[in-house]
Structures are given as structure tokens and as C-alpha cells.
Structure 1
Amino acid sequence: MAAESQKIAEHVLASSFFQRAERIGVYIHCAQLREVDTRPLLRALLSEGSQARCYVPLVEDKDSNMRLLHLESLDGLRKVLPFNILEPTTSYSDGAPREDVLHMAAPLQVLLMPGLAFDAAGRRCGRAGGYYDKLLARLLARAAACGCPPPLLVALAFEAQMLDSVPVEPHDRNVDVIITAHSVLRCSPRAHLELADEQKV
């Protein structure tokens, strides 16, 4: 899994959508949930030479409410039970509240997402919590209100998570791109357009 995670991170870092974006949301992986490791991506986004601002999830409650808050340093993370997932503190070190993607003047451009299973059509099976479903609805509404395109939805997946077909509900939203160790799958017309200049992996 570590080797797959490393290759996936290399594909993401080399992608045009990652290099062009100025506002990127990225989940913080949980080893217990067997998610693709995003630490290399976080380190890249938080490095001194990065032009992008990084936003990471904060679970608010058990009613599937989740926020994406700006992270400027790994020091701004804390462990949260029961899985010891790292989440951002609600404020910066000076006490000011962290920037929330839903309150920014310009909306999020890319969102890197985990999941339980995926298929080549971009269908995603989550963990039944509904957190990303609710967050995505808000992100799409925010982008529409700003007259901007919605964020490019990019899923990171191990090969074992790729299935022939994933059952979905009417409210489920497909992802645009799925990145595995061996491929970058373009799952939507937008993905084909945005990655047109890239060689297929």
C-alpha cells in the first residue's frame, strides 16, 4: 500500500490540474481506514514554493456536517478520536478563525477525495456517513453563486478499490478523475478537457 500511495502521489504532483490550481482541498488519510496516504501532497502544498492554498476537512458533528479549513502548517493539526485522524484546529496560532472554503471570495478549484470503492465511470462509494455528499452540495452551490465552475473532483484509489461497477444513489455525484498507482482515469467530459495535454498513464 505504501508503494501504491507513493505512485499515486507522484501522479497527482505531476498533473496539470494540481500544478495550476490556487485553492486545493485534500483529505488527511487515515491508516486504519486503509486510505491512500496524502502526506506527500500536504507537504508539497505547504512547502515554501507552493502557489496553492491548502484546505483540509474538519468534521463538525454526527449529522454529516464537515468543513474545509485553510491549513498553513502541519502544526495546525490535532488528533481526533476514535481513529486519531488529523484535523485542523478551528483557529490560527494568533487566535484568528481559519479561512473556510464556503466563505472565500473565490471558490475551491480542486478537491482530492477518499472513498471505499470506485469504478471507471467515476462512480464513488463512500463510507455511508454522507459527509462528502453534504459538503459537495454546498461547494457546488457556492461555485454557482460565484459564477465559477465547481471544483474538479479527484479520487485517490488503490487498485483493489476499483470495481467493475459501483451502485450509487440518485444524489451521489461522480468524480471527474480517479488516480491509481497505474492510471489516471478521466471519468467526465471536463476531465478529458482539462487533462487534454497530458499523456495517458
Structure 2
Amino acid sequence: MKSMAVVEKKRALRKEIAGYKRLMTQEAKHAECMICVKEIEEAEAFLESKIILAYWPLYDEIDLRPLILKWHPEKTFLLPQVAGEKLELRYFKGEDSLVPQGKYGIMEPRTEIFTKYDKVDLVLVPGLAFDHLGYRLGRGAGYYDKLLPKLYKAVKIGVGFRFQMVKEVPVEPHDEVLDIVIVPK
């Protein structure tokens, strides 16, 4: 059974982060996105990777589009697609293969499914909050917590804005730990 205290702490942290997001200017957002993209590009895990699971950003997430567009097709990029209660991985084959889907209008690829989870070298994970232990707070649906254990060979990097690094993320037993968190310093 879920601990109500943890659930309430997660809800409060989501609300706090939403407040910070509303205060962030477009200029500050763009600057922090570019810092994150540069740090990812310089990370050993990125340089050594061939197959990368990334994400096409929502308006309030670190924008990885410059990274994906710069390195595709030199590196194989996969993007998640919501399929019921889980995420399917699909090949990124250019912006024209993306279609807005679901309640968030997330741009998702309409390409073939990728199922060789052990071949994924790197996962770039969005989140609402991260801590120094590698825990992340997502939007609450558990999509990444269900997916990340299948990507057991991949280096898992959380990416977020500076204010998304918090002292402690409330955790439950099912919450997955990331290897690295990249936020602007």
C-alpha cells in the first residue's frame, strides 16, 4: 500500500515545481536548455552511445530537439510513445514522422517499434524534480518507472532546469534511480 505521507509530499513538490516553472522566462528557459544540451554532448555516456532513448519535449521540459536534430542520423534516436499504461519505443526518423498524441499533445513518432531494450546505450529522462541520489519525480503515471528496468544496460541521465534539483525527492519502492542528473550549475 502506498504511504499517504509520500504521496502527499510528491503532490506538494509537484505544486512547488509548477510555481517555479511559471516564473521562468523564455530567455532563461532557452539558456538552461542550451547548457543541458552542451553538457549531454560532452558526457562520456553520450559520446560512446549509438542508440539513445530521448524525448520530444513538452513546453515545460528541457528542450532536447537541438541535440536530436544535430546528431540524427549519426546516432540512432528513439522516442517514447504512450501505449495504454506503458511506453513503447519508436525510431525517430525526422520531425515529419511526429504526430501530437494524448492528453498532453506529446509529439510522438509513427514509426516501427523498437524492442531490443538491451541495445539501448543511453536514456535521457525528463522529470519534475531530481535529487543528488538520482531519484526523480515524474508526473505521476509511472511510465518511466515501468520502462527503465527493461533498459538495464543503458546509462540513465535525468535532465532538468536548475530549480528542479531539490534536496530530496520523496520515494516509493517502485521509483527507479538514475545514474546521472544534468541540470545547469
Classify the TM-score, shorter chain.
0.7 to 0.9
Higher helix proportion: 2
Unaligned runs of 5+ in 1: 92-97, 141-149, 183-201
Distance 1:9 1:103 in 2: 26
Deviation >4 Å, runs of 4+: none
Matched, 1:108 2:108: no
Distance 1:175 1:81 in 2: 26
- 1:192 is aligned to none
Unaligned runs of 5+ in 2: 1-28
Displacement of 1:15 = 1.7
- 1:171 is aligned to 174
| Counterparts of residues 10-29 of structure 1 (less than 5 Å) | 10-29=38-57
Matched, 1:123 2:135: yes
1:35 corresponds, among 37, 61, 64, to 61
TM-score, scaled to structure 2 = 0.79
- 1:45 is aligned to 71
Matched, 1:86 2:99: no
Distance 1:103 1:180 in 2: 29
Q: How many residues align?
A: 157
Q: CA RMSD in A?
A: 1.5
Displacement of 1:111 = 0.2
TM-score, scaled to structure 1 = 0.73
Quote the sequence identity (%): 31
Displacement of 1:55 = 0.4
- 2:5 is aligned to none
Deviation sequence 1:112-169 (CA, Å, 0-9, x none): 00011111111111111011111113333xxxxxxxxx21000001111111111111
Q: Is the 8 A contact 2:88 2:113 kept in 1?
A: no
Displacement of 1:37 = 0.7
Distance 1:24 1:124 in 2: 19
Q: Is the 8 A contact 2:134 2:177 kept in 1?
A: yes
Displacement of 1:81 = 4.0
- 1:162 is aligned to 165
Distance 2:87 2:76 in 1: 19
Deviation sequence 1:48-71 (CA, Å, 0-9, x none): xx2x2110000011x2x1111111
Distance 1:46 1:78 in 2: 18
Displacement of 1:99 = 4.2
